[in-house]
Amino acid sequence: MTVLEKLREYANTDRVALINRDETLKYSELDRFSDIFALYLTERYPGDKTPVVIYGHKETLILPCIYGSLKAGRAYVPVDITVPEERVQQIIDDVSPKVFVDFYELNIETDAEVITQQKLKDFFAGNTELNVNVEDNCVKEDDLAYILFTSGSTGKPKGVPITCANIENLSRELMPWMETSEDGGVILNQISYSFDVSVVSLYMGVSRGMTLYTIDKDIQENMGELFNHLESSDCAIWVSTPSFAEICVPSARFNQSLLPKLEKFLFCGEILTHNLVDELFSRFPNTKVINTYGPTEATVLVTAVEVTKEMADDPLQIPIGYPLPEVTFRIVDVDGKSVPSGEQGELLIISDNVGPGYFKRPDLTEKAFFVDSETGKRGYHTGDICFERDGLYYYCGRMDNQIKIHGHRVEIEDIENNLAKCDNIVRAAVLPVYENEKITHLTAFVLLQKPDGLTSLKRAMKIKEELRETLPSYMIPRKILALDSFPLNTNGKVDKKELQKSL
Amino acid sequence: MEEKIMAILNDICGADEGELEPDFDLFEEGILDSFGVISLFVEIEKQLGVKFEPTEVTRDEIKSPALIIEQVLRRA
């Protein structure tokens, strides 16, 4: 696997792979530690290929676990601390791992061997001579490299596995976009590992011998600290969702003098708005803005485009880009027929970047994935409504109730189903609230079984507390309002258009 | 001014009038998060013309309605 070969190459240099607050991890250390982890897996569980689940946030020692798993031929399943214990349990039950690396020592029921942060430190402290045969043991071709769990409409997370071949394809196609004027340099490491945009830093950044500069959750919560870290990162490539840049925009400090070496903004994961592009163009005159698009199912991203002045001035939305060289797009109508250029339809992706389907869910896989009869390549129904003009693609919205909130992919039904499980709630409807093309927050309406005598805020706090046990924090609605009755449409379903009016 | 600030805060938090106690810890109670803070600054600037440099205020300085009012008045 390219990234593992490159890792070994850079291990012979003095380069730093990761900066995490006051900790640094050199390429030589990352290579050695991941060898140790790989050796542990292969010796302790010979012949086994069960994925390794890693629960944590941005801890330095997560990286050796990721590359160590790959070196040992295992996929890894990164689960961020925003995921509450109950969901972690569901993921563990789904994956049935042999090894569970748990940085936060949760109370999880599992037959897996649990490896704590302390145990990892003990592993890596050893100084014995290693002889790890990476080439023979590492993940190859159709072996799974990682499984990411995303929001599922049933109220339980669903796994999206991606193969080594998928990543190798993406690497080849994305590398030209990662060029910078200097060899090495710094790339931001801000995106949670359980969100696939982090793959850009983990694979392409490391393959270029770059230094990953970590911005963790706590840093982001304190704007003063965040800006001090951004400044000291001196990064050349900024990878994030547009939302993260939008958090920075309200500060006057967010400009080229904060990040003089910044050559590229690479955005992925949600709509890039005109507002943000205008701000970045005026504040960062020397930095290119690159927009990309892609579903997790087709390996991170399948388009890219450098946003030009013309695109910024065009009243049309900012394009999601051109398909990468080996990616074919087809836009189809409800009957599956291709629509003429300029017309909207569902976007289908046909490419070797399309993953194998949902983890242990052949029913869902069959609905969304297909094999293209013309090319024999795998295809995926994105559920995204797009149109094409002059070879450029534009995103218009979803065919279902999936939304992006601050870059997180969320099925509205996932929230509604978990709300309905809360005490004293009969029914729930969740609505996104928009401002300037983007969702700023969610509002939930609930129907109570019986009056609870609580004030609005007290009730909302009680419900939120319950929700925190089942949902990641970004899925919890900002406002929760109780109604005496729900407006229904002619089909007897909750009339969301009517509810929308009361927002 | 104080009433207007409270109206903005009530709207962002989904609280009824008079429900938010002055010393209520909005972060601790899960009422406000980073994105809520941005909405708050945006609305305060839009409705009251008071601008915040977000890097100059810590969470502790705006964790309760009373503190938020104090910070806004100081800049007004």
| CA atoms of B29 and B35, how far apart (whole Å) | 15
CATH superfamily of A405-501: ANL, C-terminal domain (3.30.300.30)
| CA atoms of A36 and A124, how far apart (whole Å) | 7
Query: Per DSSP, which regions of A412-499 are E strands?
Result: 425-435, 438-448, 479-483
| CA atoms of A501 and A480, how far apart (whole Å) | 16
Three-class DSSP category at A327? coil
Could you say which of A252, A253, A464 has the minimum Cβ distance to residue B30? A464
Interface of chain B toward chain A, CB-CB under 8 angstroms:
12-16, 19-20, 29-31, 33-36, 38-39, 41-42, 52-59
| CA atoms of A229 and A251, how far apart (whole Å) | 14
Contact A238, A276 (CB under 8 A): no
Residue of B nearest to A456 (CA): B15
Angle between helices A117-125 and A27-44 (to 10 degrees): 100
| A55, HSE (Cβ side, Cα atoms, 13 Å) | 25
Contact A235, A215 (CB under 8 A): no
The domain limits of chain A are 2-240, 321-398, 405-501
Residue type, B27: F
Q: What is the mean pLDDT of each run of 10 residues along chain A (503 residues)?
A: 96 97 97 95 95 98 98 98 96 98 97 97 84 87 97 92 98 96 96 96 98 96 95 98 94 96 97 96 98 98 98 96 97 96 97 98 97 95 97 95 93 95 95 89 94 92 94 94 89 87 84
**Tell me, which fold does domain A321-398 have in CATH?**
Luciferase; domain 3 (2.30.38)
pTM score, whole prediction: 0.93
**A489–chain B Cβ distance below 8 A for any pair:** no
Distance from the Cα of A247 to chain B's closest Cα (Å) equals 7
Architecture of domain B2-75: Orthogonal Bundle (1.10)
CB contact under 8 A, A441 and B56: no
Could you say which of B35, B36, B55 has the minimum Cβ distance to residue A224? B55
Enclosing H/E stretch for A147 = strand A144-150
Task: Give all strands of the β-sheet with A99-102 in edge-to-edge order.
Answer: A113-116, A99-102, A52-56, A76-80, A144-150, A158-163
CB contact under 8 A, B14 and A460: yes
Burial class (CB within 10 angstroms; exposed 0-12, middle 13-18, buried 19+) of A285:
exposed
Domains A321-398 and A405-501 share a fold: no
Number of CB atoms found within 10 A of residue A320's CB: 25
Q: Chain A window 207-246: which residues touch B at a Cβ cutoff of 8 Å? A: 220-224, 226-227, 246
| CA atoms of A212 and A187, how far apart (whole Å) | 5
Contacts B53 to A, Cβ<8 Å: 251-253
Tell me which DSSP letter residue A200 carries. Answer: I
Q: Chain A window 442-461: which residues touch B at a Cβ cutoff of 8 Å? A: 443, 455-458, 460-461
Contacts A465 to B, Cβ<8 Å: 30
CB contact under 8 A, B14 and A457: yes
Number of CB atoms found within 10 A of residue A425's CB: 18
For testing contact with chain B, the best of A217, A223, A410 (most B CBs within 10 A): A223
The confidence score (pLDDT) of residue B76 equals 86
The domain limits of chain B are 2-75
Alpha-carbon distance values, A308 to A14, A269, B10 (Å): 38, 20, 41
For testing contact with chain A, the best of B32, B35, B45 (most A CBs within 10 A): B35
Q: Closest Cα partner for A288 from A234, A231, A239, A230?
A: A239
| CA atoms of A345 and A77, how far apart (whole Å) | 33
CB contact under 8 A, A457 and B56: no
| CA atoms of A492 and A348, how far apart (whole Å) | 32
Contact A35, A71 (CB under 8 A): yes
CB contact under 8 A, A456 and B14: yes
| CA atoms of A439 and A431, how far apart (whole Å) | 10
| CA atoms of A481 and A498, how far apart (whole Å) | 15
CB contact under 8 A, B39 and A226: no
Distance from the Cα of A423 to chain B's closest Cα (Å) equals 19
Query: Per DSSP, which regions of A263-400 are E strands?
Result: 264-267, 288-293, 303-306, 322-323, 328-332, 345-350, 369-371, 378-389, 392-398
Looking up tokens 């295992």 gives A74
| CA atoms of A309 and B58, how far apart (whole Å) | 36
CB contact under 8 A, B55 and A455: no
Contact A36, A130 (CB under 8 A): yes
Could you say which of B39, B54, B57 has the minimum Cβ distance to residue A440? B39
Q: Chain A window 143-202: which residues touch B at a Cβ cutoff of 8 Å? A: none
Query: Per DSSP, which regions of A46-117 are E strands?
Result: 52-56, 76-80, 99-102, 113-116
Q: At A389, list the tokens.
A: 């003009």
| CA atoms of A185 and A19, how far apart (whole Å) | 12
DSSP string computed for A59-70: -TTHHHHHHHHH
Alpha-carbon distance values, A461 to A223, A332, A431, B29, B31 (Å): 26, 44, 18, 7, 7
Residue of A nearest to B10 (CA): A457
The interface predicted TM-score (ipTM) is 0.90
Contact A51, A76 (CB under 8 A): yes
Could you say which of B31, B34, B57 has the minimum Cβ distance to residue A247? B34
| CA atoms of A291 and A241, how far apart (whole Å) | 10
**CA-based radius of gyration for chain B:** 11
The confidence score (pLDDT) of residue A489 equals 86
The confidence score (pLDDT) of residue A58 equals 98
Contacts A406 to B, Cβ<8 Å: 35
Architecture of domain A2-240: 3-Layer(aba) Sandwich (3.40)
Contact A268, A200 (CB under 8 A): yes
CB contact under 8 A, B14 and A464: no
Distance from the Cα of B39 to chain A's closest Cα (Å) equals 8
In this predicted structure, the answer to whether residue B16 has a pLDDT above a threshold of 90 is: no
CB contact under 8 A, B56 and A465: no
Could you say which of B16, B31, B54 has the minimum Cβ distance to residue A223? B54
